[in-house]
Amino acid sequence: MKIEIENSNLVRVINFLDSLSLKGMKSIHRTNLSRKLMEKLKTVGDNEKQLREELKDEPEKLKEELEKFFKERVVIDGGDSQTMLQSVKSVIKSLVAEDSEYEFKDNDAYALACLYDQFELDKEETA
């Protein structure tokens, strides 16, 4: 299992994960995923800064490159993170269950949709 998050959605997903009130191992797994995404975000920020610096005299080229850059995805690969990803997946699954009382708006709803897609929960229900 792996998840891929577009560069442009990293902050939303991190903030959403950090806002979840969880306990025990689910809390630890959520925090670990959030940390991994924050590490990726730092790299994304450094790369964006480099692009802006290199292309500062070419505004059209910069705009074009940034559009491509923000659509790129960071990957959190299962490997040693399988348990963490499965744990967070179960949290997301419970948040979107039909009997769930949770309501999400704006960036949280968007982040939840990103995670829902990445964990392929829509495919799971039809299988």
The mean per-residue pLDDT over the stretch 3-31 comes to 96
Model-wide pTM > 0.85: yes
C-beta atoms surrounding 48 within 10 Å: 15
> Does the pLDDT of residue 125 top 60, yes or no?
no
Digit-coded pLDDT (tens) for 86-105: 999 999 999 998 888 888 89
Distance, CA of 99 to CA of 105 (rounded, Å) = 18
Backbone angles phi, psi at 5, to 5 degrees: -120, 130
Question: Within 13 Å, how many C-alpha atoms sit on residue 116's CB side?
Answer: 13
The pLDDT score that the predictor gives to residue 74 is 95
